[in-house]
Structure 1
């Protein structure tokens, strides 16, 4: 990559800093952008800028939205006494795609991962506490996946709820999610069965 012209090298470096994009993929994307007509490339660039300007985090659930509260939190037909905890926004999208869950959500912002330096202070634990303290939530559904980080996060949250929120039942997605599986990658039917047959923990 040393022989790349400066501007191209800069774009490749920026793209390859994104998760899941290595230097070769970044170079292919950058070259594709170069081959585009100027107008189309400008639209791509402007849409990235608009993404940052137009989206915010919902004050209630911490999901990406065009306004706060988001459409789900503002929906008066959603059930306030169920709160589904998901690690990231894409897991929320997977849960919503099933079309059967009618409660509210909270996006945790990741999972506990000591090896990666992610501790409770970097997650939405305080926001979760505020929801549970409201007295409206009677069931906390953990939709965190079945990875080691998900298990340690679930254990941490379960202990917190048992210690501080005695009126809240904690359940988790059940059958169908294999060890190491992430909610966002599950097919709709597997996810649906996991929600319907969730287990108290």
Structure 2
């Protein structure tokens, strides 16, 4: 690629660091910004700069929110007896966009992966324990996908809940989710059927 002016190269490099954005896409994005009115570019910069300050991690579900607790955890219409475990925030968003789950969530912050140095202490297991100790949850729904890491995490949670909270049922999403798939890539109808026909562990 032809050498870019230093300020443009700097932006291209920063955009390229984002997931799913290669150098060509990053260059297109940077060139598009050069066509925008100056005030629009400045507004984008301010919004990016203020993003971390404007968002909080919900103290209940670990989701991104502009208030604590988040709108899901603060909603009195939500079922408090169901707790859906997801690995990341984008999986929660997929579940919410599908519009059929009415319980609460806990975002684990990843999946168990010993080879990558991710053990139970790196995830939100203490928070899960704390929520279950409140005694309101009667069912933990595992919406973690079907990768090897998801299976390991599911087994860990199942053992933990079975040992410390035997009255709490542990279920997982059922039919239609292919082996090795992540929840965030599953279509709405498949996800709906998987939740409807979830299986006890």
TM-score normalised by L of structure 2? 0.92
Residue of structure 1 in register with 2:107 after alignment:
107
CA distance in 2, matches of 1:35, 1:117: 44
1:52 aligns with 2:52: yes
CA distance in 2, matches of 1:33, 1:113: 39
Q: Deviations over 1:152-196 (max 9, x none)?
A: 111111121122222211100000111121111211111111001
Aligned-residue offset at 1:2 = 8.2
Distance 1:35 1:117, change over 3 A: farther
Which sits farther off after the overlay, 84-93 or 169-178?
84-93
Can you give the 5+ residue segments of structure 2 that lack an aligned partner in the other structure? none
Listed as ranges, the matches of 1:1-201 within 5 Å are: 3-201=3-201
Q: Deviations over 1:32-70 (max 9, x none)?
A: 222322112112212212322211111100111110011
Q: Deviations over 1:91-131 (max 9, x none)?
A: 11211223222111111111122333322222211111111
CA distance in 2, matches of 1:142, 1:42: 42
Residue correspondences, number: 201
CA distance in 1, matches of 2:46, 2:163: 48
CA distance in 1, matches of 2:32, 2:191: 36
Can you give the 5+ residue segments of structure 1 that lack an aligned partner in the other structure? none
Q: Secondary structure at the match of 2:72?
A: helix
CA distance in 2, matches of 1:119, 1:18: 26
Structure 1 stretches of at least 4 aligned residues deviating more than 4 Å after TM superposition: none
Which sits farther off after the overlay, 177-186 or 136-145?
177-186
* Two-structure CA RMSD over aligned residues (Å): 1.6
